Structure 1
Amino acid sequence: METVEVSLGERSYPIYIKSGAISDSSFFVPHIKGTKVVVITNTTLEPLFSDKILSALNDFDVKIFSIEDGESFKTLASYEKIMSYLLENNYGRDVTLVALGGGVIGDITGFVAATYQRGVNFIQVPTTLLSQVDSSVGGKTAVNHPLGKNMIGAFYQPKAVIIDIDTLLSLPKKQFSAGMAEVIKYGVLGDIEFFEYLEKNHKAINDMDTSYLINIIKNCCQNKADIVAQDEKESGVRALLNLGHTFGHAIEAEMGYGVWLHGEAVAVGMVQASELAQLRGWLTADDVLRVTNLNQNFGLPSKGPKSMTLDNYLVHMKKDKKVQADTIRFVLPKQIGKAILVNDVTESELKNIL
């Protein structure tokens, strides 16, 4: 087992990483308030994992509530369904919510937890690589709006993150690859040694070697925990974690949520950010090729949708959460392993790379 601590004073919490963790009550019990637990999951995952998590929560009054599977259901309508279930069944402030699923389930359950009766306990049990290395850690919760991704939400920290790497065995290859985009991101934005580790060991990682999976998950969680501890609500350094996301969110919104997986869009966004950095003389052509090749080694795309024009990108970028004073801000790599936030990217530059 590996443990990473997210240090946020009284809101600090552990991240447990272990094979079989989902069935182990010792990870859950210390973080549950009261006797009632509601596990929020989706219709795909419920038959796969409900028996395991119910065995871990055997000493509690547990109910499972499932919503439809997919990014297209990360909506206010799904949020309202969960809220209605909690209210109809008279759950109080002593309920603990457990988010069993990927980024969609984690984000929407966290937002429910942040707002139900002004805040109740919740525990993250991420089942996808993307959610294990990124979205389950740091307290960002949200739902999508047709005009922008994650535009309705709150910063609200879980009581614990319980990562069972065995859940990755149920993932379609495409979903695993999408998660690797967020893994690669950590190397590009701040850890050249980790980037080189991924380059060297991509075959073993693709083969789902347990020791390599635990290592990359721990590394990503530690990197994110360190950044969140410095900047919980993204007023500074935490914005660097959005490398590739300004481009990527535009792709997701334009194409329709769920048409492109989040990780696929972020992978393209990383390449586009790297090309923009090359245009500025920060990265070499070889650097951009390394980022592109690493994405491709994990089955990720490197080019955006052919149908998208500069105007298509801009209409969504102007609604990005990093926009300040009507200026789009971008995270760009100064070199592989070091990224910065810039606010002076011109439309001419964007046209050049898009």
Structure 2
Amino acid sequence: MNERIKIDLGARSYDIHVGPGMLAEAGTLIAPFARGPLPVVTDANVAFLHLDRFLGVLEHAGLEPKPITVDAGESTKSFFWLEKLIGELIATGVDRGGLVVAFGGGVIGDLTGFAAGILKRGISFAQVPTTLLSQVDSSVGGKTGINIPEGKNLVGVFHQPKVVIADTDVLGTLPRRELLAGYAEVLKIGAVRDADYFAWLEQNATRALHGEHDAIVHTVAHACRMKAHIVERDEQERGERALLNLGHTFGHALETATGFSDRLLHGEGVAIGTVLAFRLSVKLGLCSPQDAARVEAHVKTIGLPAAISDIAGERPSPDVLLAAMAHDKKVKDGKLNFVLARGIGQGFVTDAVPVDAVRDVVS
């Protein structure tokens, strides 16, 4: 039932372990990389549900875990919490030969990986993702960072983990909204790169999201495998890896406009952004309306928001969204790069997108 996916990056290669019950194996999998104090960074929600058990597993393997708990939520990806976390990591006594463990969702992985990447000019870290979003996306590939008022993930480093341990059993403790938000990163991979996987998701996603072991393990493992292949060819997003940003130019702008608040979870922004990217592709004559309609229908069927009007509260204006896009890290040479599609599984990156067309789509 469990699967292991290898990311081949030479000296920075590592394995992703996916399956039910993987937390019980975490001590054995982490031990080869740990030395001395082992900081374990988590948030208050994960700590309440899983921390005592996880610490017990690590201790049983002869490790010295030092738990650090931060606030839950996207607002924790900030300079304030980065500085606070670095201070707490130093207090544990971890040195450059040690290891830091990120035990939580995407926020914890991004914040902890960034802190580890810059503390003492780089300390190794391990990813133990506890949300669907982090298991299929943010824990894989070494992107770390924080948000600033000008935009999402604008400050960060590439810092590959030593190992990724994804226990699909813990997904059963997620609030439904958070589980669905994570699924947006799954459907994105099929929509941009793998039409067969997208078709499989149309038939099986409901089973996966209800926790059927074979379906959820295949969902997570295949998404990780697809991302691993892309990261191997383009570790620092100089080309092909940018395809994984399908929906993110729109999604990040929506998150910025809504203040990185609970009004819009990251995955919800990606879901809306993916629908908008296909809609923009149709508008530019690149994609059939039928493929765009399939993507939108699947987003709605799963229960994710599919339109800007689905976001609670005041609707962000087109000018606000365009201004947020102008600060996006995907801007190169003054031009905004979009991931568009010629059909399901046929994504591509372009900067030849008229601003008026973008405005029409977000209006």
**How high is the TM-score relative to the length of structure 1?**
0.97
Write out aligned runs for 1:320-335 (5 A): 320-335=328-343
Alignment of 1:336 onto 2:344: yes
Contact (CA 8 Å) 1:111, 1:156: kept in 2 or not?
yes
Write out aligned runs for 1:62-77 (5 A): 62-77=65-80
Write out aligned runs for 1:1-354 (5 A): 1-24=2-25, 25-32=27-34, 34-58=35-59, 59-258=62-261, 259-305=263-309, 307-354=315-362
Residues in 2 aligned to 1:168 and 1:257: alpha-carbon distance in whole angstroms: 23
Structure 2 unmatched ranges of 5 or more: none
Measured after TM superposition, the shift of residue 23 of structure 1 is: 2.2
The one-letter amino acid paired with 1:127 is T
Residues in 2 aligned to 1:91 and 1:291: alpha-carbon distance in whole angstroms: 46
The one-letter amino acid paired with 2:149 is P
Measured after TM superposition, the shift of residue 89 of structure 1 is: 3.9
Q: Matched residue of 2:305: which SS?
A: coil
The one-letter amino acid paired with 2:253 is A
Q: Matched residue of 1:331: which SS?
A: strand
The one-letter amino acid paired with 2:352 is D
Q: Matched residue of 1:82: which SS?
A: helix
Contact (CA 8 Å) 1:36, 1:94: kept in 2 or not?
no
Residues in 2 aligned to 1:92 and 1:336: alpha-carbon distance in whole angstroms: 47
User: CA-atom RMSD, angstroms?
Assistant: 1.1
The one-letter amino acid paired with 1:29 is A
Measured after TM superposition, the shift of residue 350 of structure 1 is: 1.3
Measured after TM superposition, the shift of residue 199 of structure 1 is: 0.7
Residues in 2 aligned to 1:11 and 1:68: alpha-carbon distance in whole angstroms: 30
Give percent identity, aligned residues only.
40
Measured after TM superposition, the shift of residue 49 of structure 1 is: 1.1
**How high is the TM-score relative to the length of structure 2?**
0.95
Contact (CA 8 Å) 2:39, 2:92: kept in 1 or not?
no
Contact (CA 8 Å) 1:23, 1:55: kept in 2 or not?
no
- Alpha carbons of structure 1 residues 286 and 119: separation in structure 2 relative to 1, 3 Å: same
Residues in 1 aligned to 2:274 and 2:93: alpha-carbon distance in whole angstroms: 45
Residues in 2 aligned to 1:65 and 1:90: alpha-carbon distance in whole angstroms: 13
Post-superposition CA distance 1:48-102 (Å, at most 9, x none): 1112211221112211000000001111111111111122343321331100000
The one-letter amino acid paired with 1:295 is V
Q: Matched residue of 2:331: which SS?
A: coil
Structure 1 unmatched ranges of 5 or more: none
Post-superposition CA distance 1:126-164 (Å, at most 9, x none): 000000000000000001101110011000000000000
Q: Matched residue of 2:161: which SS?
A: coil
Residues in 2 aligned to 1:315 and 1:141: alpha-carbon distance in whole angstroms: 24
Q: Matched residue of 1:156: which SS?
A: coil
Residues in 2 aligned to 1:350 and 1:82: alpha-carbon distance in whole angstroms: 39
Post-superposition CA distance 1:1-59 (Å, at most 9, x none): 10000110000000001211112222222232x12200000011112111221122111
Q: Matched residue of 1:92: which SS?
A: coil
- Kindly report structure 1 stretches of 4+ aligned residues shifted beyond 3 Å: none
Aligned residues: 353
Q: Matched residue of 2:145: which SS?
A: strand
Residues in 1 aligned to 2:33 and 2:163: alpha-carbon distance in whole angstroms: 7
Residues in 1 aligned to 2:98 and 2:81: alpha-carbon distance in whole angstroms: 19
Residues in 2 aligned to 1:89 and 1:271: alpha-carbon distance in whole angstroms: 45
Q: Matched residue of 1:155: which SS?
A: coil
Contact (CA 8 Å) 2:36, 2:94: kept in 1 or not?
no
Contact (CA 8 Å) 2:151, 2:328: kept in 1 or not?
yes
- Alpha carbons of structure 1 residues 228 and 12: separation in structure 2 relative to 1, 3 Å: same
Q: Matched residue of 2:349: which SS?
A: strand
Measured after TM superposition, the shift of residue 237 of structure 1 is: 0.4
